[in-house]
A = this chain, B = another copy of it.
Amino acid sequence: MTFEVTILGNSSARPTANKHHAAHVLNVREQFFLIDCGEGTQAQLMRYGIAPARIRAIFISHLHGDHLYGLFPLLSTLNLLGRKTPLPLFAPEPLGELLANVFRRLETELSYEIQYTPVDTRKNCKIFENKTMEVWTIPLRHRVPAAGYLFREKEPELNVRKTAIETYGLGVVQIVAAKRGEAITLPDGRLLPNEALTYRPYAPRSYAYCSDTLYSAKVARIVQGVDLLYHEATYAMAEKALARQRGHSTTLQAAKVASMAGADKLLIGHFSSRYKDESLLETEARTLFPNTFIACEGKTFSIPLKRLQPEE
């Protein structure tokens, strides 16, 4: 029941052999989701032991080169690997058109279908869903249309308390109804509210990716209660004016969003190249939100499943 994000790259500066542009991979129970795709992402996937062929869907936050120049070569490699499975791709317009144009001019015919969905960056809506999870857009405020993404496990089916089954002598039909969240009427006419019969087996986990963006209170409302929040912090608090001018956030603004959202843990990154000692940015964010960490390239942040017990 894995739920973890691996940082493939997280730099806003010029890429070097050990510093790559934005790309995060979220592993939700062995389904892999790629978020942003800076240059060199496919090599980074290999370096950290994630087969590119396993990518289930791709989410691009905005159309700046440092967040997408690795996409053309990654999609080409999936073609060389003979991928047949369609690949859902979510990004603001006009990425679909841009991709089609590049591949047409390079006479690249893909072996698989790219299922491109343009993202409306002004809306907070569900864009992807399967049995275990869903993905919601987060409107960001940047120099170009930009969206963050909130990944959430679905609510699990309820567990029925053993003590309730025994006490009330529940049959199969009643147990199935209780698992669906329904109340039960006993043969003697007593109504048992669902809460008296069931409990959540575990708390669904969530990860939010917010880059690039100005500080936004709306973001904090949308990601309310998130377990792990990645929020860009391109600048230190001293450069607040510059951050605003360039459509970016400071360390303290990222921490403020995490704090307002009641997040469990905050990851910061996309640091300007002016900061030689990035640990100072971590320290700064921790003054407001202590559970802050740098989204270091190559690091994996796991959210363990918290199994819940019924309150007796």
Contact = CB atoms under 8 A, between A and B. Distances in A.
A64 B106 contact: yes
A241 interface: no
A144 B16 CA distance: 32
B17 A47 contact: yes
Nearest to A72: B69
A46 B16 contact: yes
A42 B15 contact: yes
Contact of A94 (B42, B64, B65, B105): B105
Given A47-B17, A80-B14, A39 B105 contact: no
Interface stretch (A96-104, A114-122, A181-189, A223-231): A96-104
Given A14-B42, A14-B80, A97-B105, A73 B69 contact: yes
A40 interface: yes
A59 B101 CA distance: 22
A228 to B, nearest CB: 26
Nearest to A12: B80
Contacts of A269: none
- Counted per complex, copies of this chain come to 2
A263 to B, nearest CB: 31
Nearest to A75: B65
A40 to B, nearest CB: 5
A77 interface: yes
Interface in A67-98: 69-70, 72-73, 76-77, 80-81, 94, 97-98
A107 interface: yes
Contacts of A16: 43, 46-47
B15 A106 contact: no
A63 interface: yes
The 6 nearest A-B residue pairs measured at CB: A69-B73, A17-B47, A39-B73, A65-B76, A16-B46, A98-B105
Interface of A: 14-17, 20-21, 39-40, 42-44, 46-47, 52, 63-66, 69-70, 72-73, 76-77, 80-81, 94, 97-98, 101-102, 105-108, 144
